[in-house]
Amino acid sequence: MKAKKLPIGSRYPKVVLLMEREEDTSGAADILAAHIEEYRTIKKNNETIEFLLKTEPSVILFALGNVEKNVEYYKDLVEKHSFKHLHYSVILCNNKESSLAFRSCIKGLFDNYFVFQPLYEKLRLLMIVQNGLTKTQSTSQLKAVNDELFEKINDDLSQLIDEGSRCKQDILYSFTSRREELVQLNQIDSSIISTAQSDLTSTEQIMSTLTEEHITPLLAHLEDDIRAGLDKMLAQLVSKRAEFKADLQTNIAPPEEKGEEEVNAEAMEMKPKGLITHVPSIKKRPLPEDGDELPPISRIEKNTNTNTFDVKDICILIVEDNKLYRDMISEVLTKENYKIEEAEDGLCALQKIKDKKYDLILMDLYMPNLDGLNATKKIRKLSGGQDIPVIALTSNKNKEIVKKWANYGLKGYIIKPSTKNEITDMVKTVLEKSKEEENV
């Protein structure tokens, strides 16, 4: 945001300050006007609601005397006047009412609050407005991408349905044709039978000949037609689904995380190697406003093949600083008859790996002494450490770091806390793949 002279007022401002008394908000209004181009101060009157509905500002700051008045007015605006467009609401209050304003934000009525009487933190006010603008903008972009994508999916599905109908019609036509041929055959049969009777040939022999030479081939032909039609439809559905998945992954790019601590990692120069499979947590929350959910990736298919390894020979190292969660994972995998060892941080894990070979490592990201990402880097440098498969244990917000982590041979990740089946399926799949690669 640049420092600007006070403008006359934008016609369709992106940021609006709603006030009752000008003298209350002059400080805040001056700061906002000086730094935000599309800003306007509005005095509450009979035309205010109409103005807001018309201009649909991205950020609205409420300064209507006290918290109670702000809450009532905003509720009225949203409920009675259907003020539902995407916006970021900020309540301005005096110091005494700050806890009340905080509670109104916690309850989800307003997005943020700011103490403007007395006005100490000018930069923070600008930061709040800037965050609001960024959020509304990124959510609008995401919504636009989603709309476009859903429209495309809708078109694809319609096309599939049309093709399905055509396939069905073709199959029905085949049935009708074959039936007609059978009817014709039956007519021929009757004449053949009567001739055959005069030749003293048994009826049974004739029917048997007819069945073998005509009916059976016709039925086989029909069956082939049906099979071919259905196979074609299935193949198309599968390819459409693959395209859809690819579209979702490229188009729904998650926005940057705010304030997430960067792990102490060096710049990544290596290209990604190896596939990552993902097991999402069973709790599918709705998309939050700042859109920081991982993109929906289909669950891994359950490995129905018999193991190429004996579970009892497998030794898994669980690296997690939270003892409670570590015990839980250990419990889940021990019940599956895996041998389990534990380490409370990356440093501990490294010491264990130097002394013993593990078949799989489950690694947390944020740990004291040595975090998951750096621990994996160091493991890869150890002799024999290059091939140990690693599965990340992480929360939903760490996707950017997990992507970097993938450069070091991450074979999958589990979103905490996950479920027993998802954890065991992931472990089984990664171990299977690892054993297959060893055998190649």
Q: Compute the chain's Rg from CA coordinates.
A: 34
Residue 108 as a binder of another protein (CB under 8 A): the answer is: yes
| Residue 372 near residue 269 (C-beta atoms within 8 A) | no
Min dist. Cβ of residue 324 to another protein (A): 5
Binding piece for another protein, criterion CB under 8 A, among 83-91, 252-260, 378-386, 402-410: 252-260
Residue 223 as a binder of another protein (CB under 8 A): the answer is: no
Binding piece for another protein, criterion CB under 8 A, among 17-25, 97-105, 161-169, 209-217: 97-105
Residue 107 as a binder of another protein (CB under 8 A): the answer is: yes
| Residue number with CB closer to another protein (29 or 392) | 392
CA distances from 178 to 183, 186, 220, 224, 230 (A): 9, 12, 11, 13, 18
Residue 324 as a binder of another protein (CB under 8 A): the answer is: yes
Binder of another protein out of 256, 327, 437, 438 (CB under 8 A):
327
Task: Report the 10 Å Cβ neighbour count for 295.
Answer: 15
| Residue number with CB closer to another protein (29 or 318) | 318
Report residue 23 CA to chain centroid gap.
48
Binding piece for another protein, criterion CB under 8 A, among 67-75, 96-104, 162-170, 211-219: 96-104
Strand partners, 363: 319, 392
Q: Nearest 10 degrees: CA dihedral of 190, 192, 195, 200? A: -100
Q: Which residues from 169-188 bind another protein, rule CB under 8 A?
A: none
How big, in percent rounded to 5, are the helix, strand and coil portions of the chain?
55, 15, 30
Binder of another protein out of 102, 170, 201, 292 (CB under 8 A):
102
At CB < 8 A and 24+ separation, what contacts does 404-407 make?
Answer: 404/265, 404/268, 404/373, 405/365, 405/372, 405/373, 405/376, 406/272, 406/274, 406/276, 407/268, 407/270, 407/271, 407/272, 407/273
Binder of another protein out of 98, 137, 201, 251 (CB under 8 A):
98
CA distance 128 to 88: 10
| Residue 98 near residue 115 (C-beta atoms within 8 A) | yes
Q: Which residues from 12-71 bind another protein, rule CB under 8 A?
A: none
Residue 282 as a binder of another protein (CB under 8 A): the answer is: yes
Residue 134 as a binder of another protein (CB under 8 A): the answer is: no
Count CA atoms closer than 13 A to 337's CA, side-chain side: 5
Q: Which of 93, 234, 211 is nearest to 164 (CA)?
A: 234
Min dist. Cβ of residue 21 to another protein (A): 26
Q: How many residues form the binding site for another protein (CB under 8 A)?
A: 33
Binding piece for another protein, criterion CB under 8 A, among 102-110, 173-181, 209-217, 303-311: 102-110
- Phi and psi (nearest 5°) for 192? -65, -40
CA distance 118 to 134: 27
Binder of another protein out of 4, 21, 179, 335 (CB under 8 A):
335
| Residue 138 near residue 146 (C-beta atoms within 8 A) | no
| Residue number with CB closer to another protein (249 or 421) | 421
Min dist. Cβ of residue 173 to another protein (A): 50
| Residue number with CB closer to another protein (164 or 417) | 417
Q: Which residues from 393-432 bind another protein, rule CB under 8 A?
A: 395, 416-421, 423
CA distance 121 to 119: 6
Both tokens of 155, joined, read: 């078109």
Binding piece for another protein, criterion CB under 8 A, among 41-49, 59-67, 258-266, 347-355: 258-266
Min dist. Cβ of residue 102 to another protein (A): 6
Min dist. Cβ of residue 325 to another protein (A): 5
Q: Which residues bind another protein (CB under 8 A)?
A: 98-99, 102, 106-108, 258-261, 282-283, 285, 321-325, 327-328, 331-332, 335, 366, 368, 395, 416-421, 423
